[in-house]
Amino acid sequence: MSELLFKLRNVPEDEAADVRDILRNNAIEFYETSAGNWGISMPAIWLQDGHQLAQARQLLKAYQEKRRQDAQSAYQEACTKGEQRTVWTLIGESPLRFVLLLMALLFVLYISLMPFLRL
């Protein structure tokens, strides 16, 4: 019986490709379902044989731990080099966008609170 292994919604393509490669390299038979034409179905990787689920999950767990460590080390390296994006660098990159978003936020706040302040 088929078993769900890995949901693909909001998963980067490189990660999905790595998972497919891991399964192929370990001779684990799988198939994929897509989100469909309207995007309402569940895109996922399914195992054809439920008996291989434990092995596949163990491989997936090891891969995700390695991916986490790589991302964490890349983040630490960017922080030490001073290249990590912060709120202030994002504001500096597009100050007009920040001002417009701030004005929109204040307008929505004003509209929301005015009925209560006129008592």
**Residue type for 15, please?**
E
Q: pLDDT band at residue 50, thresholds of 50, 70 and 90?
A: confident
Q: Give this prediction's pTM.
A: 0.71
In the structure, what pLDDT confidence band is assigned to residue 119 with cuts at 50, 70 and 90? low
Q: How far apart are CA 77 and CA 53, in angstroms?
A: 36
50 vs 29, more confident: 29
Is residue 21 classed as helix, strand or coil in its secondary structure? helix
Q: What is the pLDDT of residues 98-117, one digit of tens each?
A: 999 999 999 999 999 998 88
CA dist 2 and 43 (Å) reads 15
In sequence order, the 6+-apart residues with CB closer than 8 A to the CB of 41 are 33, 34, 35
Mean pLDDT score of the chain, rounded to an integer? 93
What is the residue extent of each domain of the chain? Answer: 3-84, 85-119
3-class DSSP state for residue 7?
Answer: strand
What residues have CB less than 8 Å from 19, skipping those under 6 apart? Answer: 6, 45, 60, 63
CB 85 within 8 A of CB 39: no
pLDDT at 11: 94
51-97 pLDDT, tens digit each: 999 999 999 999 999 999 999 999 999 989 888 888 998 999 999 99
Contact in structure between 67 and 34 (CB atoms under 8 Å): no
Question: What's the pLDDT at 86?
Answer: 87
Token pair listed for 66: 């390695």
Q: What is the CATH number of domain 3-84?
A: 3.30.70
pLDDT of residue 1: 78
